Structure 1
């Protein structure tokens, strides 16, 4: 008598890891010097098989308090200018996606947009976002030199997931991250230049963790270091775990993103699903 073999049922969970490179550096006041550094980081990220390379806010150049709004506006470029075109060519050559920001020319006199961008592996700019919350707080007034954007950009599909774009001070406004999450964002990327100050690092860490937890998504926040900025570039998991903290060092670090974690977290902690949008408007102000 032949006894048939019994094979145990094995459940295999597909793991969808994508490597992301996060860059933290001290931008100089010279655009050309920063661009050379950016291109080097893109090449290094690609050599380590990263799918996407994320840069901080003001990567184009550091503007100090003595620089006038007109001087800043004269250095700004359009999305088709040399700065973005050069980065886009590097993205294409290295077959890697790039996220960052630049000073974009504005129609308003002596004002620029603080604009973030997403470039795909073919070198195409697939999304831009103009910062809507200008840092007019704690003794600073970005509106003296910048014009605010007028809309939140829709999340964009990339090979690491659906990305929602924010910039620095935007992180303090939960309505924005929630809007992006409801629109489908699985990852929030916030190029930042977080200014040093009393309790500022504590705010930075708490806010990034909170945005991840309340939306069940990854938060990737590359930050400037040096000059007046605090560093501490972060990547936070959908459940609020800090996966990367670059402290005060300049350089490039890598972290794996797993979209299964987003799905799992949103299933066991269904904050987006449990919202009572039918009741919230009943609060009269």
Structure 2
């Protein structure tokens, strides 16, 4: 077990060209590996993205063993690190799955996650094209003794999702996002990512699309809510150290997890969409 690992977030502007998206991921992951990162996190919809969601997403959807994930596997194996990215995944229906994959240095998928809370807000209707994930036990993966878990974009507005990950032993939440720009949206992004780190005394590594669609501002926040690495509005990477002693010290000073008197339980969905 390591006392610390280096975690990177990478941001870029995914397009409808999956091969070009893989090339961008390869270039940014190579830069992260050169700085000794053990994990690099990329945005939601890294495999395929258009500004307006529509049938192109369904047509471009791939299985977990498709060409995009295999490409991530080659990158992870060559660079000897874990790669996390968003996949437009096929479901065999008229809608796709907004999925995250964590690919290990072996080239195999170490964990995957289907977005639970769809972005039917701020004038958007993600559920018109996306099937929500089933509520199930969190899939986690371990990197040098640290337990990491997956969460997607709009899920960050629902603190129960992060708390369920923490109850499963997660110490670092990785959060790929496509956080759409708009009034106060950047403020919400920073506030929510920071709040989830503080209230759970964990690290959060959040990766977004760059403008003009996303807000950028990918960041890594520590268990005290300190932004220890960040990127502005351009493609790039940021790398930060995740430390075992920081987790221990913060939880000693702020034992919020030990003092809480409530538990999270699944709720019945508001609808089938």
Task: Tell me the TM-score normalised to structure 2 length.
Answer: 0.91
Which residue of structure 1 aligns with residue 240 of structure 2? 255
Query: Which moves more between the two structures, 169-178 or 116-125?
Result: 116-125
Structure 2: state its 5+ residue gaps.
266-273
Q: Do structure 1's residue 156 and structure 2's residue 156 form an aligned pair?
A: no
Given that 2:83 and 2:102 are in contact with CA atoms closer than 8 Å, whether structure 1 keeps it comes out as yes
Shift of 1:145: 1.0
Shift of 1:57: 0.8
Shift of 1:15: 8.0
Structure 1 vs Structure 2 CA RMSD: 1.8
Shift of 1:117: 1.1
Q: Do structure 1's residue 59 and structure 2's residue 43 form an aligned pair?
A: no
Aligned equivalents of 2:20, 2:145: Cα separation in 1: 29
Query: Which moves more between the two structures, 42-51 or 164-173?
Result: 42-51
Which residue of structure 2 aligns with residue 145 of structure 1? 129
Given that 1:164 and 1:180 are in contact with CA atoms closer than 8 Å, whether structure 2 keeps it comes out as yes
Aligned equivalents of 1:115, 1:219: Cα separation in 2: 19
Shift of 1:124: 1.5
Aligned equivalents of 1:223, 1:160: Cα separation in 2: 26
Deviation readout 1:79-133 (Å, 9 max, x if unpaired): 10010001101211211111111100013x2211111111112112110000010
Which residue of structure 2 aligns with residue 8 of structure 1? none
Structure 1: state its 5+ residue gaps.
1-13, 281-285
Aligned equivalents of 2:19, 2:176: Cα separation in 1: 20
Q: Do structure 1's residue 136 and structure 2's residue 120 form an aligned pair?
A: yes
Q: 1:123 aligns with which of 80, 91, 107?
A: 107
Aligned equivalents of 1:226, 1:26: Cα separation in 2: 8
Deviation readout 1:11-36 (Å, 9 max, x if unpaired): xxx98221122101112221111111
Q: Do structure 1's residue 267 and structure 2's residue 252 form an aligned pair?
A: yes
Aligned equivalents of 1:101, 1:220: Cα separation in 2: 14
Shift of 1:251: 1.1
1:70-109 pair list within 5 angstroms: 71-107=56-92, 109=93
Tell me, what secondary structure is at the counterpart of 1:133? coil
Give the 4+ runs in structure 1 shifted more than 6 A: none
